[in-house]
Amino acid sequence: MATRTLKNHPISHTVARMQELLGDKALQAAEISLDEAASFNREKLQGLVKSLRSLINQSAASSVSETALNQMNSNLQYVIGEITAFISNGNSGHLANAVNHADQNVLNYTWAFLPRPQQHLKADLGEIIDSVQERSRETIAQLETQRRELEKRIGDLANEINDQDARLNELDETNSRIKAESAASIANLETIFNRNQSERDNSFNALVNEAKGMLDASISTMESETLELVETLKRHRDEAARIVQVVGDIGVTGNYQNIATKETKQADNWRLITMALFAGGLAIAGFTFYKFYHEPVTPTNTLAIVVRLLYALAIAAPAFYTARESARHRTNADRAKQTELELASLGPFIELMRSEDKDEIRKSLIKSYFGRQIDPHEIKTILDSGAAR
């Protein structure tokens, strides 16, 4: 540095700008003094400016680091920006951001200034006293302003209280008048109500007596009609029970009849298929016998005969399965027909018996119709039939 002091360095102008901004009226407002955090941040920034100004004024150019001063000056620009933003919108968060940035990026460069000799302590003490006096005057001015505002508000509140007292007196007078009018109206309503109540009681007693007589007559009529209706319902119940019994028998037997018809039709179809397969196999076997009957027996003819007979056997083999299916459906049809005949004749057979005997017969037939095992379906060949005979 060419100069012996730091007054010409950019940091001197930056500190002067910060001091100017901190003296703005926005930072001296009463709201800042009442806000503990904002007041603390303002005082910390003011102390930073005074400390930097003291270091700049009392340090020689040869005893500082120019690089550190340049870096400090660059970081102070952000602090100036946050203070300017607070003056513009009044958001105290800008002050907090400025203090945080100064703590992290400004104070750590104060090593640029060499420690001052002890004899300069008195000059710093005078600056501190001046700072305390200046802040005291600012605080007193702010308290005086707040006192005047409180006196004004107290006067306004006193006027409002007087107005409210006047309105309260008016309301008391209105309330007294309304009470008197209400008492007169209530007395009049009680007189009218008592007179109407007497008339209503007489009318009500007359209506009750008349209704009682009509009710007694209606009860007698309803009792006689109810007895007749009960007898009619009993007669209809017995008839309905018989009809339901008949309909139930018809429904049950009709279902077995349908089953028998369907099973018979299935048995006939399977029988036709069986006959067709047997006929096809016999036809192939007969054609083979006819074709090779007059020809000499050779290995070639023998192989052809065997192959054709195997074809005939392959065609006729499924006939055993179709015959079994036909027998199964025929068995089901016979069982359904038998069950239909038994159920259809059960009602007429036990109609003239006692109720106890009817119930006993129905109970004994439960095992015959429910829980029976299905009989196996067997196909008997001609040899089996001959053995049976």
Using one digit for the tens of pLDDT, what is the confidence trace for 71-86? Answer: 888 888 998 899 899 8
Q: What is the pLDDT of residues 9-43, one digit of tens each?
A: 888 888 888 888 888 888 888 788 778 888 888 88
Q: How far apart, in Å, are the Cα atoms of 325 and each of 48, 260, 334, 382?
A: 112, 15, 14, 18
Residue 251, CB-side half-sphere exposure with 13 Å CA sphere: 6
Alpha carbon distance 277, 272 (integer Å): 9
> Nearest to residue 8, comparing CAs of 80, 91, 64, 84?
64
371: left (phi over 0), alpha (psi -120 to 50) or beta: left
Question: What are the residue boundaries of the structural domains of the chain, listed by start?
Answer: 10-155, 235-388
**What's the gap between Cα 305 and its chain centre?**
80
In this structure, which CATH number among 1.10.287, 1.10.238, 1.10.10, 1.10.1760 belongs to the domain 235-388?
1.10.287
pLDDT in tens, the chain (389 residues): 444 457 778 888 888 888 888 888 888 887 887 788 888 888 888 888 888 888 887 777 777 778 888 888 888 899 889 989 988 888 888 888 988 988 888 887 777 776 555 444 444 555 566 666 677 777 788 788 888 888 888 988 888 888 888 888 888 888 888 888 888 888 888 888 888 888 888 888 888 888 888 888 888 888 888 888 888 887 777 666 566 555 555 555 667 778 878 888 887 888 888 888 778 777 777 777 677 666 666 677 677 777 767 767 777 678 777 877 888 878 877 877 777 777 776 666 666 677 777 777 766 666 665 555 555 555 555 444 443 33
Round to whole Å and give the CA distance between 42 and 36. 10
With a threshold of 0.95, does the pTM exceed it? no
SS3 assignment for 92-126: CHHHHHHHHHHHHHCHHHHHHECCCCHHHHHHHHH
User: What is the rounded distance in angstroms from the CA atom of residue 91 to the CA atom of residue 32?
Assistant: 11
CA 207 → CA 202, 218, 220, distances in Å?
A: 9, 16, 20
Q: What is the pLDDT of residues 181-233, one digit of tens each?
A: 888 888 888 888 888 888 888 888 888 888 888 888 888 888 888 888 888 88
CB 35 within 8 A of CB 93: no
Q: How far apart are CA 157 and CA 165, in angstroms?
A: 12
DSSP 60-72: -GGGB-HHHHHHH
Contact 49, 15 (CB under 8 A): yes
Contact 344, 249 (CB under 8 A): yes
Tell me if residue 131 falls in helix, strand or coil.
helix
Residue closest to 319 by CA, chosen among 282, 265, 264, 287: 282
Residues in the chain: 389
CA angle at 272 for the pair 286 and 290, rounded to the nearest 5°: 5
